[in-house]
């Protein structure tokens, strides 16, 4: 069975985490494809700036949202559909990253990152799936990261959330396909954003947000379960992932430069 693939004629594209980085660029790219885009994020000012961008035949409408608030997530979905129409495409992109070092494990840091990156996605998934189930069609994309493939220095919190999202999407796929809802995982490499500037390790094949958004749009059109880019980074990481753990760790220990750093 060929599952549903959204187009601008089918309804609204809802994007979370839209106030900056990939989310901001993706809203622009989808609107320029002709979508009416419902853009959600916490920052009202940044959303207002986004809605004033030149997007050709599409349009962007701001729907402020803090994804840590379950009631607000449900209310936002209701409001989007009441004001703009059915959500045909949902891109759940909201996320945060905080460096998590092994020299000082901070439970509160993990709680914050998990609350936004994992539970924030689930809070938005729940009402969207309900709407799409009733219509028996829809497309959902969850934005992860290539850091989901294995642990990298300081990514214990962030990377583990992206691993969890990959598992969630893969598991939900079994049921969603039965109601004609396509779910995808978008795992980008390193993209120049405020979050990646916190990374303290080399970031090969660093991309700009516009280029990343263009790859995402192509991936959404293709409909494949996992959308990965850039290939020159994704495929080497896939190969490294299948190495025996000890060999992989030693390789990454050296390539990251962590073998030259002092404790802490």
Q: What is the pLDDT of residues 209-224, one digit of tens each?
A: 999 999 999 999 999 9
CA 20 to chain centre: 12
Return phi, psi of residue 46, to 5°: -70, -35
pLDDT of residue 23: 97
pTM metric for this prediction: 0.93
Please give the domain boundaries of the chain with CATH numbers for all domains. Answer: 8-233 (3.40.50.720)
The pLDDT tens digits of the residues spanning 61-74 come to 999 999 999 999 99
Q: Are 40 and 63 in contact (CB under 8 A)?
A: yes
| Stretches in the chain below the pLDDT threshold 50 | none
Structure token digits, residue 172: 């939900």
What's the per-residue H, E or C state across 122-186?
A: HHHHHHHHHHHHHHCCEEEEEECCHHHCCCCCCEHHHHHHHHHHHHHHHHHHHHHHHHCEEEEEE
Burial (CB count within 10 angstroms: exposed 0-12, middle 13-18, buried 19+), residue 80? buried
Those residues whose C-beta lies under 8 Å from the C-beta of residue 198, and which sit 6 or more positions away, are 97, 98, 99
The pLDDT tens digits of the residues spanning 155-194 come to 999 999 999 999 999 999 999 999 999 999 999 998 886 7
Structure token digits, residue 139: 């497309």
pLDDT of residue 101: 85
Structure token digits, residue 258: 């962590």
Which residue in 15, 10, 45 sits closest to 29, CA to CA?
15
Residues with catalytic roles: 158
Q: Are 64 and 45 in contact (CB under 8 A)?
A: no
């Amino acid at each position: 069975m060929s599952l549903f693939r959204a187009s601008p004629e089918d309804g609204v594209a809802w994007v979370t985490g839209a106030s900056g980085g990939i989310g901001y660029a993706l809203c622009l790219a989808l609107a320029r494809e002709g979508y009416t885009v419902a853009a959600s994020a916490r920052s009202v000012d940044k959303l207002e700036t986004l809605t004033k961008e030149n997007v050709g035949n599409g349009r962007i409408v701001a729907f402020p949202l803090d994804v840590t608030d379950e009631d607000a997530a449900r209310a936002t979905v209701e409001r989007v559909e009441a004001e703009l129409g059915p959500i045909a495409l949902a891109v759940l992109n909201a996320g945060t990253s905080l460096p998590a070092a092994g020299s000082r494990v901070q439970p509160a840091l993990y709680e914050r990152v998990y609350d936004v990156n994992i539970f924030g996605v689930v809070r938005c998934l729940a009402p969207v799936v309900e709407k799409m189930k009733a219509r028996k069609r829809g497309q959902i994309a969850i934005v992860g990261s290539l850091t989901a493939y294995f642990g990298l220095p300081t990514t214990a919190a962030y990377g583990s959330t992206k691993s969890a999202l990959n598992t969630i999407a893969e598991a939900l796929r079994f049921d969603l396909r039965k109601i004609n809802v396509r779910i995808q995982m978008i795992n980008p490499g390193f993209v120049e954003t405020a979050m990646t500037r916190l990374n303290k390790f080399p970031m090969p094949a660093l991309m700009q947000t516009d280029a990343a958004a263009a790859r995402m749009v192509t991936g959404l059109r293709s409909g494949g379960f996992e959308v990965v880019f850039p290939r020159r980074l994704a495929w080497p990481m896939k190969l490294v992932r299948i190495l025996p753990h000890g060999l992989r760790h030693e390789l990454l220990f050296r390539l990251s430069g962590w073998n030259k750093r002092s404790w802490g």
